[in-house]
Structure formats: C-alpha cells, structure tokens
Structure 1
Amino acid sequence: MTDAVTLHALNVDHTGRPIHRRGVMLVLSSPSGAGKSTICRALLAEDPALRLSVSVTTRPPRAGEVDGRDYHFVSLERYRKMVEGDELLEHARVFDNFYGTPRQQVEDELSAGRDVLFDIDWQGTQQLTDKVPQDLVRVFILPPSTEELERRLRTRAQDPDDVVQRRMAKAADEMSHWAEYDYIVVNTDLDVAIARVRSILTAERLRRRRQLGMVDFVNAMRGEE
C-alpha cells in the first residue's frame, strides 16, 4: 500500500489513487566508506514503496538473522539449480559462500508497482545491466576525496592500518567503474546526497514507459471531453 509519504513522487487520479506503474530497480554502488549503506537505510526508512532486495545465500544464518528478511538461506544444491535454471538475476561467490538475486521475487515487486533497492558492487550491476536494462537505474556514490574516504574508513570501523590500506586499494578499482552508471552522486554532505538519490528515484518513477496505467487514464479523460 502506498501512503502519503510516497504519493508526492507518483501521479495520481482524481480519487487520489496512484496510477499503476512498473517499479524501478534502484542500484546503489560505491567504494566502502562512501556512505552507500547509510543512504540506503535512510531511503528505506522513509519510503514504504521501496523494498530492499533480499538475496539468496549458501552461508549459514548468523545470530539474529531471519530467513526471508535478511537472506533466503538455501543449500548449495538448491543454489546451483537456481543458477542453472536462470532463476537469479545476478550471482557471485564471496570467499567460500555464494550469493544471488532471485528473479521472480524482483519481478513480483516491479509488477506490483513497488521499487527494489540493490546495495551491490559494480560486478553485480553489470550482470543486472545485461539481463534487465529497461528496469534498471544505476547510481554510483563517490566520496569527495580519497583523503576523506580514508578518514571515514578509519573513523567508522577503527580497523588496523593494513585493513584500511587494502580497502583503499580496492576503492581505487571500484571507482574506475563510475562511468558505467546512469547517475553519479558525490557524498560531500550526507543529507544532500540522500536528497539527490531521492530525487533520482522520483524522476525515474515518472518515466513514461513505466507508467503502465497512463494510457487508460488519458483515454478516460479524453472520453469525458
């Protein structure tokens, strides 16, 4: 159900109901420490029409994790069958575990006019681009400088120097993929960055190709003339 918080971002009919649309797959990527996860949490907290993509994984649940909320926990055999059956929009191995995005889950949300938020890296984004480019909106979050990124990494986790340096080295590679994205947001000020990503989502929700109910809406008005 869409409430007043989200209605400002949608077209509505004379009764105040949203005109049916197809949802958006909103991808946020960034190097570690640029603020992506914080922006994701802020968007999810304020927008009931936005859902976080829930991945499948072969790793066992950690303390406090709930199946279906944090991840869909599956066996390695089931995961392999999902890959073979093209049931995953993107998938990857991370250390000794496997992860992926269930295709049907995302399609159900989009068809219902709900938007799906993805917190993934450039490799996962490339896979989504190959499979569902028409539904995808890609946003890359950049830090204002490498010095600020390093400061945030040290302040955030208080990791030892060698860990911070490895993350900084990885960040340089990740940032090289910025040109593969539709929008670039430099996170100099967190509130401003959140507002900019929110504006991107609002604009993409109003794209003509996603407003499936607009034909009936306009035809009904023309018939009243």
Structure 2
Amino acid sequence: MKILFAEDDQILRKHMTYLLTHAGYKVTTAKDGAEALDYALAEPFDIIILDWLMPKLSGLAVCQKLRATQHTAGIMLLTARDAAEDMITGLDEGADDYLVKPFKSDVLLARIRALSRRKTKAIIETLTCGDLTLNIQQRTVHKQQQSIELTKNEFLVLYYLMQNVNHVLTREQIIAYVWNFEQDVTSNALDALIKLVRKKIDDNATSYIQTVRGVGYKMQVI
C-alpha cells in the first residue's frame, strides 16, 4: 500500500518514514502542503496523511483541493487541535480520519489499517492494456492468458505505467515510485529495468512502453 505523509517537522517526518516503511508501506514524504498537493495529483496513493498546520498550504486546504478533484484516497489529518469544532471541520471538509498530536505509533498504524479496510472496496483489482492484464492484489501479469514472471521492480514499473496509460511519466517520477528512498539510482538503471520489462511483455514488432525523448516513458495500448 502506498502512503503520502506530509509534515513540515523534519524529525517527525523522518521518524514516521522509518515507522511506516518498516511496517511494510511504501512511503513518499512532503515537507509542506504545496508539495503534498503536487505529489497527490501526480500519482495515486492509497492513504494520504496530512499535518493540519504546514507552510504554503495547510493540510485542511490540501484535503479540500483533493476532494474537489474527486480524489478517492483515504485522508487522515494530524493536528494538535483537539477542539470538537476543529475535528468536525476536518471531517466535513473531506478527511476520513483525524488524529490528535501527540499520538502513539501503534495507534497511528491501527488507524491506517482501519482506513485501508474501509477503502478496500474502492480499489481496482485489475488493470488492462491491450492484451496485458495486471492483478494488483495477486501481483500477477498475464498476456493472452499466459503468465509473465516479473521481479518486484519490474512489477512496480509496469503497474505505475499501466495506472497512467497514455500519459507521459518523467524519469524522476518513475525512479521515485520504484526505488523510493534508495539513493544514487541513475537513469541508466531505469533504462535497464524498462528494457527487461519490454523483453517480457512485447511482441517483436511493437512495444507497449514508449520512450519520450528528454522526458521519460509512457504506456500505450497496442
């Protein structure tokens, strides 16, 4: 499951990144509201956790803007505000949950699990592109009923491209999605990964994954 965690406090941001990553979640962090909004609109997240008071845009403002675009991710607000009217405001503006600081790590993880269960029905189980079918929950890929074996990173890059079929994804976006917090991942590593995926999913004459020179890649139906 993919989580966006937005918090301007660097120490708390690092602590929560460690906690969530070791709990098995794929985590992207944002240091302010504007960055959180950009990330949330650029790629899909299952859950978005927003600190209420952040520079540039508040967590509440980000929540409002996302819900205005019909964004379906589960949204949780973190805040020191414990007044009932603040809680009501947050929930009325589109948040699914509200957690008051300071909080215990196990409580946050339990809230995430509960929020995930509520959102499960809305999650699409399969993606299709031409003859390709990708099952998200089973982490399998088939082409014309034939199973295709993929490594973890091959599956992640194909999943990301199929989620954004016919849309160009930059190299930076793909690298951030697949490798997340690992350092020193080069464009050459991405090119090599794409080449491996192409060998497994393409026919001799055509390729599902198109190179957009100077930008990145896109998935297209063939």
Shared fold, TM over 0.5: no
TM-score category by the smaller chain?
Answer: 0.3 to 0.5
TM-score (norm 2): 0.33
User: Which of structures 1 and 2 has the larger relative contact order (alpha carbons within 8 angstroms, sep 6+)?
Assistant: 1
Which has the larger strand fraction?
2
TM-score scaled by length of structure 1: 0.33
